[in-house]
Amino acid sequence: MGARISRAYWLALAGLVATLTIAAAGCDPAQARVKSKRDHARPRAIHGPNYHPPYADIVVDDKSGFVLHEVSADEPRHPASLTKIMTLYLLFEQLEAGKLSLDTELPISTRAALQNPTKLGLKANQTIKVEDAIKGLVTKSANDAAVVVAEALGGSEEEFAKLMTAKAAALGMTSTTYVNASGLPAEEQITTARDQAVLGRAVQHRFPVYYQYFATPSFRYKGAEMHNHNALLGQVKGVDGIKTGYTEASGYNLTSSVRRDEKHIVAVVLGGTSNGARDARMRQLIEAHISQASTQRTAPIIVEANGQENPSLDNAHQRDALYNRAPIVAVAPATPNAEPPAAERSDAVAAGAKADPVPVPRPRLQTARLPARASKQAATVQALPARRQRLTAKVSTLSVPQAASTLRQTRHVERNAGPSAPLQ
């Protein structure tokens, strides 16, 4: 009896195993892979009503340099993927200098390949073309591509971050420190809304051709279609970039450039509570302030503090960039910096909220160092009084035609030296 029960038990167990084996054999491998990816997918950020990262924003009229609106524009914030604007700025420099081309193959290190998403899925010990890296950065905000660029230009991401910070200082971004090339969370990587507006303007002034990559709606890389994370492209009139970003600490960030009817503004929103709330706030800022922008350029373009000039500009614009000063004119009473109410961040309320009054403009253009010729001009101006005395004495001994010729030369020297330039 016991033997029969034991035999039946083992037969039943064997049948169960066989059934499971057949079922497993009939399972779709593709479905199994999808399930595996789903089980190991990174959790999506889902925030409750109490999620309020530190907020800041600013709107700058590019042609006048005036600040049309600002909230906490000088308070420290984490840039998130807005960091990649500076990464691309340094890459564009190398392209402009001819040290790289769009077809240059950049090596992919193991460190780059192991970066956290979002990324292109680059493989170690392979290469990626510069142009593909650019498109990956502006559309998918690819962290692996950012590290590839950093290592190619700086030798390591750490050294490249030092170059980024130095460049920020040269542009007048005095409150910005970079730690990595991607914007992945780093406690010491900070910026301000004002500094990001400076960078957003500078990258357009310096690289008008390469800047157009920021308007790339999508691109295909190894069979996969990469769509631009900036939802305002093609949806808001005149928007031509620039970059979105997100980390848990920073919230949802966005820098936008808008051109309408000969007007051009750059706006920055830091600390949105969601993609939708951030985009709605940006739409509101654009519609409220684009009409206040100037159609004529009265502000100099942004140049680096070392006096580096843009070779794509003609001589007249070079002189404007080096010597002009934008006047500071109050257009309305200033409003104190304050966090907007939580309700303002919701999509519906932010989209229809009343426009903020326009505060006193606070241009923050970095004045370029004057080149050596300015020092020579200063010396010439200082020497003019003594030169006039010598010429006066000489004229008394000359004939009338000779004297007239000598005086014309004196006036020519004075015009060249220029009495108006406040040389500092």
Q: How many CA atoms lie within 13 A of 47 on its CB side?
A: 19
Alpha-carbon gap, residue 271 to 277, rounded angstroms: 10
Assess whether 141 carries a catalytic annotation. Answer: yes
The residues, any chain, with a CB within 8 Å of residue 8's CB and separated by 6 or more, are none
The residues, any chain, with a CB within 8 Å of residue 343's CB and separated by 6 or more, are 349
Q: Which of 63, 64, 72, 81 does the annotation list as catalytic? A: 81
Q: Please name the helix (run of DSSP H) or strand (run of DSSP E) that holds residue 415, with its range, or none.
A: helix 400-417
Nearest residue to 357 (alpha-carbon basis) of 379, 325, 335, 386: 335
Assess whether 84 carries a catalytic annotation. Answer: yes
Q: What is the DSSP string of 224-278?
A: EEEE-S-TTTTTSTTEEEEEEEEETTTEEEEEEEEEETTEEEEEEEEEESSHHHH
Q: Which of 64, 141, 250, 274 does the annotation list as catalytic? A: 141
Q: Which of 84, 119, 135, 140 does the annotation list as catalytic? A: 84
Q: Are 398 and 335 in contact (CB under 8 A)?
A: no
Q: Answer positive or negative: Cα dihedral of 352, 353, 355, 360.
A: negative
Alpha-carbon gap, residue 164 to 161, rounded angstroms: 5
Positions marked active-site: 81, 84, 141
